[in-house]
């Protein structure tokens, strides 16, 4: 099993290229199931989750080819010969549930295993199912699988989400493109990944209005065509690497970065004493002084502070001047990285959905263990600021969401290596 070793070594300098968004790509790939014509994605990230989605689509009969070293994904679903998404594949990744809506919309039936993924809370799929029921789907849950049918095809309907679920919005949006009539999604998620999916679907011939707002309207069409679509920049990878110079000092430019993708995050960085500047090629980040100031953070759906940057922000605040409070409002059990940071000398108190972080002068290197995807990279960031050596184990989580993390951080001067134990 691999580990990553990090040694704190002072300021960073240089450029880090930001990949296409994992969460966007994992949503765009199932869109191929909506059409018999080819769908090609450019600017794709090279991650284990992408390989898992590739395996899932291929198991359904889709042709999926990786080109240009993995940065281009060419897909064709002209011959879908299997409508069962098996547990052995789906259990690896929650995004697998996103094949349900497209298969049901196109062919009127689908059987999909209930999904797995990171252990950061219950994260049920009931909103996905209620949305499809509002479009006329008949659902039966048995033996760990969702058995879905729409014998006469899906029909337009009104979907009122109890909360702004990203995955449920994506599933409903794809399904509605081929439903008969008009579908309205109320309290829809507003994330950039939703907007990116809508752009791709429109390129395929879908009629969609209101993406990026809380109300999305879809007029169903008889068929969708093929398209070529560039995957949007990964705002979570972007925010993660923006924290590296904030923690270590120095100045780093994040190539492909956009302020509109991380506006709420940048507001907190500014309050903490970090400058973020838009350039012609990305975002430039530097710490204004020698120390970070404490700030309070509340995670919220977009355009609020992203839950997927909470763990990384906590690593930054471990050495801030003063006391910060982080409130997690999206997922329960998302402070599992706190005990590992405490092993490095951090002062953190967790009470339910709140974590109080009192800054210390310096963290100390220690052996730590990653508990989920974002926790793993938060420990690497903490190691960059720590005195001595930090060894992060169970980094297989990392491969699900960050490509070439060691090479990217080495490129700006970090002392980091990956070793096989």
Q: Binding residue per annotation — 82?
A: no
Q: Binding residue per annotation — 171?
A: no
Provide the total of helices (H) and of strands (E) in the chain, helices listed first: 13, 26
Backbone angles phi, psi at 325, to 5 degrees: -120, 125
What dihedral do alpha carbons 344, 350, 356, 357 form, nearest 10°?
Answer: 10
Question: Helix, strand, or coil here: 51?
Answer: helix
Which of 25, 118, 200, 318 is an active site residue? 118
CA distance 199 to 345: 46
Q: Binding residue per annotation — 373?
A: no
Q: Binding residue per annotation — 418?
A: no
Q: Binding residue per annotation — 94?
A: yes
Q: Binding residue per annotation — 330?
A: yes
Q: Binding residue per annotation — 280?
A: no
Task: Catalogue the E-assigned strands of 281-366.
Answer: 282-287, 297-298, 323-327, 347-351, 354-358, 363-364
CA distance 49 to 23: 9
Q: Binding residue per annotation — 211?
A: no
Q: Binding residue per annotation — 230?
A: no
Q: What is the DSSP letter of 335?
A: T
Question: Measuring CA to CA, how many Å separate 270 from each of 261, 274, 324, 375?
Answer: 16, 5, 15, 23
Q: Binding residue per annotation — 286?
A: no
Q: How many C-beta neighbours within 10 Å does residue 132 have? A: 29
Strands 109-113 and 84-85, by their bridges, are parallel
Which of 135, 134, 102, 84 shows the shortest CA–CA distance to 224?
102
Catalytic-residue membership of 318: no
Burial per residue of 8-18, b for 16 or more beta-carbon CB atoms within 10 angstroms, e otherwise: beeebebebbb
Per the annotation, binding residues are 22-23, 94, 123-127, 308, 330
Binding residues for phosphoenolpyruvate: 22-23
Active site residues: 118
User: Which residues carry a binding-site annotation for UDP-N-acetyl-alpha-D-glucosamine?
Assistant: 94, 123-127, 308, 330
């Amino acid at each position: 099993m691999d580990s990553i070793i990090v040694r704190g070594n002072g300021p960073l300098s240089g450029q880090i290229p930001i990949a296409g968004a994992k969460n966007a790509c994992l949503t765009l790939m199932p869109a191929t199931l909506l059409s018999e014509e080819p769908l090609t994605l450019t600017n794709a990230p090279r991650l284990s989750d992408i390989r898992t989605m590739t395996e899932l689509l291929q198991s359904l009969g889709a042709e999926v080819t990786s080109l240009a070293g993995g940065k281009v994904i060419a897909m064709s679903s002209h011959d879908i010969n299997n409508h069962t998404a098996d547990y052995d594949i789906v259990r690896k990744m929650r995004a697998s549930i996103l094949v349900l809506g497209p298969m049901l919309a196109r062919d009127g039936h689908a059987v999909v295993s209930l999904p797995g993924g990171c252990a950061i809370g219950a994260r049920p799929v009931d909103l996905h199912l209620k949305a499809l029921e509002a479009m006329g789907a008949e659902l039966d849950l048995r033996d760990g699988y969702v058995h879905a049918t729409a014998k006469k095809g899906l029909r337009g309907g009104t979907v009122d989400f109890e909360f702004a679920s990203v995955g449920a919005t994506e599933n409903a949006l794809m399904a509605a493109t081929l439903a008969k009539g008009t579908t309205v999604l109320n309290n829809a998620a507003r994330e950039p990944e939703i907007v990116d999916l809508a752009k791709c679907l429109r390129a395929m011939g879908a009629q969609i209005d209101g993406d990026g707002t809380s109300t999305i309207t879809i007029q169903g069409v008889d068929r969708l065509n093929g398209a070529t679509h560039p995957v949007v920049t990964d705002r979570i990878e972007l925010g993660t690497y923006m924290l590296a110079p904030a923690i270590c000092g120095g100045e780093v430019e994040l190539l492909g970065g956009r302020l509109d993708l991380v506006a709420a995050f940048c507001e907190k960085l500014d309050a903490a004493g970090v400058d973020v500047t838009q350039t012609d090629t990305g975002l430039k980040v530097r710490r204004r002084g020698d120390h970070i100031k404490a700030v309070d953070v509340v995670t919220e759906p977009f355009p609020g502070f992203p839950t997927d940057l909470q763990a990384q922000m906590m690593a930054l605040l471990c050495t801030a001047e003063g006391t910060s409070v982080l409130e997690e409002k999206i997922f329960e059990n998302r402070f599992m990285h706190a005990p590992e940071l405490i092993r490095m000398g951090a002062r953190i108190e967790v009470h339910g959905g709140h974590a109080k972080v009192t800054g210390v002068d310096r963290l100390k290197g220690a052996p730590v263990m990653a508990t989920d995807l974002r926790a793993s990279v938060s420990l690497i960031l903490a190691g960059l600021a720590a005195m001595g050596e930090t060894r992060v184990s169970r980094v297989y989580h990392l491969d699900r969401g960050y490509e070439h993390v060691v090479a990217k951080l080495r490129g700006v001067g970090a002392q980091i290596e990956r070793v096989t134990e």
